[in-house]
């Protein structure tokens, strides 16, 4: 049944989520951080977003557009945050004093942002009950803004993995957000969800091995169709083998990257090369327009680097992943948007059993 929801953010996915949910009958509020208010200025007065693409076409009317966190979090108990991982800290700082135990906050995707936000809340409100924190392994749509008030969806992900923190509230999490994103697949906890994210497996290696072409052409080529050649796919699959070994050490039986893409509806069953080249959603997508891209600045320091640190913690070597982190960091000249360490998410110094117990 449609209900009330607050979408946090003002980027491509936030606009697409807000518009699609509104067209489906939900009462939708859109909140953006005051520092990014320019992203919602074009719709501030009319409160309308035009949606086009495979998920529907029409003009969505929003109930509220605001930069006031108190007003936004008072509008509804369900909060969906399709924002980059490097925005999670600013998001938490902006909304923490208005978050209540009644709220559910869903990060789409999360990259263990649930644990980072839980750390913020414990530090700022040590005696308060936590809201229900939820994260998915991917964004719900392949989408872009085509204009300041126009979002376009090329494809809807039919199956997103979801985990809750604490894991004991997973059933409640599905009940609270399942109506907005049908086809959610339940994971045992947020760590399994994060380790099944496909972007960190694909993007850093793909961008690094196409760095010269991206920089020279400003991204004027089809990234998946032209950039993920058989040789590039082999490196990605080797990194993926390290991820699956890490999963086994933590008690997870993780599917390989090709199976993840197929299960999420991106392409046909087969090896990675077959899935990518048979994907109607992925093959039309252009490469990033520059090397200053979330595909490096988010997927490396907020996911891949965290996996490498986890591997060190539980005794799983990840040389290819570590090499990708080293090269990406050198290419970016550091970590311009920060990073996510085990200390940031409260897992520093813990072995596999202690990590799983903490998440439960």
Average the pLDDT over 256-272 and give the result.
89
| Inter-residue contact 224 to 261 (CB < 8 Å) | no
Q: Which residues contact 226 (CB under 8 A, 6 or more apart)?
A: none
* Dist CA 139 CA 110 (whole Å): 9
Rounded distance, CA 56 to CA 67, Å? 27
CA distance 301 to 165: 22
Tens digits of per-residue pLDDT, 105-123? 999 999 999 999 999 998 8
Domain containing 176 equals 4-195
Residues 145 and 229 in one domain: no
Q: Is the pLDDT of residue 178 over 90?
A: no
Last residue of a domain, one of 195, 226, 250: 195
Residue in 156, 165, 186 with CA at minimum distance from that of residue 174: 186
Q: Does one domain contain both 204 and 308?
A: yes
Q: Is there a cis peptide before residue 166, judged by omega within 30 degrees of 0? A: yes
167 and 80 in one domain? yes
CA distance 282 to 272: 12
Mean pLDDT of the chain: 94
Percent of the chain past pLDDT 90, that is, above it, reads 83
On whether both 182 and 203 belong to a single domain, the answer is no
* CATH number of the domain residue 211 falls in: 1.10.1040.10
Based on the domain organization, do 294 and 345 belong to the same domain?
A: yes
With vertex at residue 237, the alpha carbon angle to CA 156 and CA 134, rounded to the nearest 5 degrees, is 45
- The CATH number of the domain where 161 resides is what? 3.40.50.720
Over residues 234-249, the mean pLDDT reads: 97
Where does the pLDDT of residue 229 fall: very low under 50, low under 70, confident under 90, or very high at 90 and above?
very high
Length, in residues, of the chain: 360
d(CA 317, CA 284): 35
Domain's final residue, options 195, 213, 245: 195
Domain count, the chain: 2
Distance CA 271, CA 278 (A): 11
Q: What is the largest distance, in Å, between two alpha-carbon atoms of the chain?
A: 55
212, 324: one domain: yes
Flag whether pLDDT at 193 surpasses 60: yes
How far is residue 174's CA from residue 169's CA, in Å, rounded to a whole number? 9
Residue 146 shares a structural domain with residue 224: no
Point out the domain boundary residue: 195, 226, 248.
195
The answer on 204 and 187 residing in a single domain is no
DSSP, res 255: P
**Band of pLDDT at residue 335, cut at 50, 70 and 90:** very high
Asked if residue 184 has pLDDT above 70, the reply is yes
Segment 207-231 shows an average pLDDT of: 96
pLDDT band at 245 (very low <50, low <70, confident <90, very high): very high
Place of tokens 């949606």: 51
Mean predicted confidence (pLDDT) in 303-331: 97
pLDDT score for 1? 56
80-106 per-position pLDDT tens digit: 999 999 999 999 999 999 999 999 999
Rounded Cα distance, 127 and 105, in Å = 19
Q: Is the pLDDT of residue 179 over 90?
A: no
Strands 58-61 and 104-107: unpaired
Query: CA-CA distance, 339 to 297, in Å (whole number)?
Result: 9
Mean pLDDT of 15-26: 96
Q: What is the pLDDT of residue 46?
A: 95
170 and 52 part of one domain: yes
- The CB-side HSE value for 316 (13 A sphere, CA atoms) comes to 24
Residues 6+ apart with CB under 8 A from 261: 198, 267, 272, 275, 276, 279
Tens of pLDDT, residue by residue over 32-80, are 999 999 999 999 999 999 999 988 899 999 999 999 999 999 999 999 9
Q: Is the Cβ–Cβ distance between 78 and 5 less than 8 Å?
A: yes
| Same domain membership, residue 290 and residue 334 | yes
Question: pTM (2 decimals)?
Answer: 0.93
- Together in a domain, 185 and 309: no
Q: Are residues 173 and 146 in the same domain?
A: yes
Q: Which of 15-24, 76-85, 154-163, 289-298 has the lowest mean pLDDT?
A: 154-163
């Amino acid at each position: 049944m449609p209900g009330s929801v607050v979408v946090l953010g003002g980027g491509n996915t936030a606009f697409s989520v807000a518009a699609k949910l509104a067209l489906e009958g939900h009462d939708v509020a859109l909140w953006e951080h005051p520092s990014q208010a320019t992203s919602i200025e074009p719709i501030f007065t009319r409160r309308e977003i035009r949606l086009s693409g495979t998920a529907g076409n029409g003009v969505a009317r929003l109930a509220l557009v605001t930069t006031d966190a108190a007003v936004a979090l008072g509008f509804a108990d369900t909060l969906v945050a399709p924002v980059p991982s490097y925005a999670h800290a600013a998001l938490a700082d902006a909304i923490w004093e208005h978050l209540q135990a009644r709220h559910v906050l869903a990060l789409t995707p999360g990259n263990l942002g649930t644990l980072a936000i839980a750390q913020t809340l414990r530090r700022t409100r040590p005696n308060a009950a936590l809201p229900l924190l939820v994260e998915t392994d991917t964004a719900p749509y392949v989408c872009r803004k085509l204009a300041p008030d126009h979002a376009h969806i090329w494809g809807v992900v039919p199956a997103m993995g979801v985990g809750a923190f604490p894991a004991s509230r997973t059933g409640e999490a599905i009940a609270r957000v399942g109506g907005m994103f049908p086809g959610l697949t339940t994971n045992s906890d947020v760590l399994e969800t994060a380790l099944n994210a496909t972007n960190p497996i694909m993007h850093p290696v793909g961008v690094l091995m196409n760095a010269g072409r991206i920089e020279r052409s400003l991204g004027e080529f089809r990234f998946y169709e032209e950039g993920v050649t058989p040789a590039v796919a082999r490196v990605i699959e080797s990194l993926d083998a390290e991820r699956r070994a890490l999963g086994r050490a933590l008690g997870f039986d993780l599917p390989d990257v090709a199976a993840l893409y197929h299960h999420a509806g991106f392409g046909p069953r087969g090896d990675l090369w077959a899935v990518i080249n048979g994907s109607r959603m992925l093959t039309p997508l252009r490469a990033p327009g520059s090397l200053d891209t979330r595909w490096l600045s988010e997927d490396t320091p907020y996911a891949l680097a965290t996996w490498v640190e986890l591997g060190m913690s539980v005794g799983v070597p990840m040389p290819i992943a570590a090499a990708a982190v080293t090269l990406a960091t050198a290419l970016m000249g550091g970590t311009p948007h920060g990073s996510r360490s085990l200390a940031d998410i409260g897992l520093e110094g813990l072995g596999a059993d202690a990590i799983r117990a903490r998440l439960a």
